[in-house]
Chain A
Amino acid sequence: MTGLLTRPRAVAAALGFLLLALVAAVAPGLFAGDPLAADPLHVLEPPSAAHWFGTDQLGRDVLDRVVHGARHSLAIAVAATLLGVTFGVLLGLLAGLTHKYADEALSRSFDALSAFPLLLLALLFIAIAGPGTVSLVVAIGIATLPHYARVVRAQTFVVRQAGYVTQAVAFGDRRLTLVRRHVLPNVLGPVPVLAVIGLGEAILAAAGLSFLGMGPQPPSPEWGAMLSESRGYLSIAWWTAVLPGLVVTLTVISLTVAGRHFQRRFEGRLG
């Protein structure tokens, strides 16, 4: 990937932003006031010195809501990614290490699962379980699972055939030792980087679903929900939608830039 965003300064900026987002998620009180504090006298005001991001239709400070929203959005995304990665890796390893028929069955299941668009799969789940945070986490986790499983499975195959595995046989390694020493570390190598990039996708998916009203319900300051609420005021108060949206975009960009940077470093290590 070329681009202005591969330069070290850009990567540093990305990491800095992510750090900021992390702190905001963990301790929003450090930066912002009460996201629920409505001020009917100052409804739909454009950005100013008092309210950097302006106010929304109930007079709440948009920036406060964005900062608090970070916690919700990031938490959902992290939980969903953890879910997807954990089960994806387990199933992918299983598929890569077992014999042909089990692998076939597992691979077809991954294919079947990924035949559903992420959004629709999530909607199906929500239709069953109702909207809310947990639904989003589980839905996105299940939808992203096949991607991780497939990558891990492919990597397992590559490693199984690798010369150093053959050599380990020559040293009398038992199968389990071999898996522990050589296969696992080499297979799991690419996973953290994938997870970072996947985190960005999870944020987008969560925001999209919230926008449709399927996520945490108002007055929760979750980013997607904020954007959904702002739709009606678009023509008169663009800042209620665009500025929070920019924050989401910036977060995802930072995750992608950071993730790809580490991906290049990691690939470099593999020679």
Chain B
Amino acid sequence: MSDRLVSVRDLHVSFVAGGRVVEAVRGVDLDLHRGECVAIVGESGSGKSVTARSLVGLAGPGARVSSSRFEVGGASVGDFRPADWRRLRGGFAGLVQQDALVSLDPLRTVGAEIGEVLRVHRLPGRAKRVHELLATVHVPEPERRAGQYPHQLSGGLRQRALIASAIAAGPPLLIADEPTTALDVTVQAQILALLAERRAAGDTLLLISHDLAVVARLADRVLVMRDGVIVESGAPATLLSAPSHPYTKQLVVAGRRLAGSEAPRVATPVREPVLVARGLRKDYGRHTVVTEVDVTVRRGEIVGLVGESGSGKTTVAQLAFGLVAPTAGTVEFEGVPWSGVPERRRRPLRRRLQFISQDPLSSFDPRWTVRRIVAEAALGQDVVPLLDRVGLSADLADRYPRQLSGGQRQRVAIARALAPRPSLIICDEPVSALDASVQAQVLDLLADIRATDGTALLFISHDLGVVHHLADRVLVMHDGRVVESGPVGEVFHRPRHDYTRTLLDAVPTLEVQP
């Protein structure tokens, strides 16, 4: 077989949706040589996934694919019959998608899923081979795990099993579409290491991601995609040090948040505390979710609360907001007891404490227009200046939230949160669901609000870069406890606790390779 595994010229993929023709890929060239690792980076809607999937003939239902050249494994795809595609899938190229919880059949065991590949490609020795494959991807106790269902495995193990099923028939090409997006940062690092291992073993990798940092260390070449075309391509080092296309520049800046220099923050005068939580503990049955947590937020401060999934950070947010009662410990807001107090005593102060959640759409009454949503909080104030403040034009006021983009919805949520002039806004993963370029805008808006109105923020996130960008002080949570806290510069550049160090190490950074 030749050295060039894939050769595509002028690829066009379009879909018919609701009577209109949507062009997802508009003239893409792609070459993959044996042993390389190529990454396609872009935001949602850029066409990167469609490009990757069309290599195995799975562009999507109703897709129309055309190209001037399309060769996979030396054969021209135009002559392919369904049986040829089936041989190619799994045999020549394996596909790994994000979130193994839904990418593996939840009703079948992991072993059955991997074994299915062997059965389809008529490879012998199924049971033994399945165990071997699981061992190759470093799943401990492969015999036991093979008989388990995906939901019984941790996120990292599931993803490894998914990778095992993709390489089961020994394909020379491995396509990984956002393979680490659904995973915690520490687990993400492990999976990336596994992929690097596969590369070292001779596999060719095609990585798809929205996060430049994730692929920077692994890829030989990076293709930046936007709106169906490749806007720039080159080695990661070149792209990072001297990006030529403005869009690439945007991505690099957005990804660079963590590697900021330790510029001294403008010292804010120590003001009185707005929220004081002491000794918080929350048990659900026998399961302790949060224990011995102290959080203090002062007026005008931005406090970040970081941790991976299961660390208890969301529960702390709910306790602080008063949504949930603590099993032990107290919360005080504006000097007034806040926990363990009947709602009617909290009500007068309620409006001074606002909440922004990760998915703004579910926090809006689906029957209300934007205007009504903001008016509910504004209590007589005019809605338009509030919309203006968050950068939304007045003509959006009469639309419904479901008609807006993710970034616009979050702005509406912020406008609504600002209306009652709160002293503290609790933000629970407010930018996690947004594209990188939009994230930066929303974060800047929040910083601006603090600067202008002096509103304090309690910012919860799993994304260290985001917290580093915005917060004055940070608390690191792990397994329900606060393991470290302090000014952001201190914690991020001179961590004391082991877990903090692990967390920081695992975060992919955009460092220029020497």
A170 touches B355 (CB 8 A): yes
Which of B347, B355, B361 is in CB contact (< 8 Å) with A172?
B347
Chain A binding surface, main DSSP class: helix
- Which residues of chain A are within 8 angstroms of B354 by Cβ–Cβ distance? 170
A115, CB-defined interface residue at 8 Å: no
C-alpha spacing A172/B366, complex, angstroms: 20
B367, CB-defined interface residue at 8 Å: yes
- Which residues of chain B are within 8 angstroms of A270 by Cβ–Cβ distance? 366
A167, CB-defined interface residue at 8 Å: yes
Interface size (B, Cβ < 8 Å)?
A: 26
B354's nearest neighbour on chain A, judged by CB, is: A170
B363 touches A271 (CB 8 A): no
8 Å CB interface, A186-236 against B:
186, 189
- Which residues of chain A are within 8 angstroms of B357 by Cβ–Cβ distance? 163, 166
A269 and B367 in contact, given A169-B350, A172-B350 (Cβ under 8 angstroms) = yes
A101, CB-defined interface residue at 8 Å: no
Min CB gap A159→B, angstroms? 10
C-alpha spacing A186/B362, complex, angstroms: 13
A271 touches B361 (CB 8 A): yes
Min CB gap A173→B, angstroms? 9
A269 and B366 in contact, given A169-B350, A172-B347 (Cβ under 8 angstroms) = yes
Min CB gap B283→A, angstroms? 19
B402, CB-defined interface residue at 8 Å: yes
A164 touches B347 (CB 8 A): no
A167 and B363 in contact, given A172-B347, A271-B402 (Cβ under 8 angstroms) = yes
C-alpha spacing A174/B353, complex, angstroms: 16
B365 touches A164 (CB 8 A): yes
Which of A171, A189, A271 is in CB contact (< 8 Å) with B376?
A171
- Which residues of chain B are within 8 angstroms of A182 by Cβ–Cβ distance? 365
C-alpha spacing A269/B377, complex, angstroms: 23
8 Å CB interface, B401-438 against A:
401-402, 416, 420
Min CB gap B380→A, angstroms? 13
- Which residues of chain B are within 8 angstroms of A185 by Cβ–Cβ distance? 367
16 A-B pairs, CB-CB below 8 angstroms?
A163-B362, A163-B364, A164-B363, A164-B365, A166-B355, A166-B357, A166-B363, A170-B321, A171-B376, A171-B377, A172-B350, A185-B367, A186-B367, A269-B366, A269-B367, A271-B361
Given contacts A163-B363, A185-B367, A189-B367, 9 further A-B contacts (CB under 8 A): A163-B364, A166-B355, A166-B363, A170-B321, A170-B351, A170-B355, A270-B366, A271-B361, A271-B366
